[in-house]
Structure 1
């Protein structure tokens, strides 16, 4: 098997032009774009994990697929030599560990996975200090301890995680699946009082729509953007609970540039 790990952009720290912090899209929606390249995509901790051994040849081989993924990944907050951070390994947890080392700017150990630091495996992190007191600073050192003693002191999960990391036990993951219909909600934690504030949120939804369309190899001809009114009256006039607008195109589209322009024009005329 061959796994790739990509660091997900944080979904709660982004900032809109007029609203301050904006709660981002659901994590699963951030992974829809990757389903275009492989059906085996999962979210684990802070990373998106892709198992690509079954689809590499369809994209021209491993190197070609990794190049495509780098080109098509959504922009993230961290880059390596101008591109998004990626790591690859034979197992999901090894790929995630190497990604964490990259983010910290630390070198890759010579002997993998034995020399990976304890803190790069989520199941070992709560026990890192106790393991260090035992002289265990790497995965291999923990694995060399008597299993019965490790299980009594730290529980069964660290051993099970190490077995999955080595590939000696299956790693049951919840694969991301595409919904049959695109219907996504974005929450604004602050009141949006201007068209630019809604436009920024709408563009985030269009980004997710594009990933959904590409994974399904389809285009969009019509979509509806709706927003809920927090206020009930303004200038003595009752407001409806919801307001919406519909965008239509002459032909199915996957690119979002035209829809972004339409959305900006329509929102500019909304009160």
Structure 2
């Protein structure tokens, strides 16, 4: 054994420090590496390029309601896996995995609270739950939010995000489109505002129903909003579509939206809208 091997072997082994996998977040837009904690504290908005990341109901409610105080509405009870659907996995197993991952019963969660003193019912679709798809539970949760707003005589505000109808529920998923449309009509008959905030992505049957029926239509910057995908449309009409034609800014320019609002300004903007649409309804 050489003297170098002897010296090397005599050095005590120092274990390599483990770095947590979630310590850093890479911005999908500009590629900047961000500390995950700082990124989350900034409401999942990249401080360099202002890309808006996807956030779940808890983070949304904490940022929106006064003091982060709110009360969750009960989850509706609906038939689970009505078609006993199975593809590469059983639908029941997919539901179980999504609930374990998100801690939510399904993709739409409602909460009651105040926004700068104004009472509101707020619904948030969680893209992390089976891509935010619309099934029986989402349709029923929407109606629960509508009925709570009517009972409390306050606005219903919904943050949409999802990939459209949930294929594992077939025609019953598509039936949620007219169901939620009737819910919107009930709000209008009660003289209450219905405000939609479209987040990335809002597509398919969600766009074709309650996402486009708001009294005021808002969106977050850069949100993908559309019915069919760009490649599907291009192959159908055999024409090249303009760059970013399904992004929030393009839709605002062409009259499909009323406002595109930065996430940091949403709370103040929603409070302003509610004060216009429901004057005198501030909490005591």
TM, length-normalised to structure 2: 0.22
Structure with greater contact order relative to length (CA < 8 Å, sep ≥ 6): 1
Per the normalisation by structure 1, the TM-score is 0.22
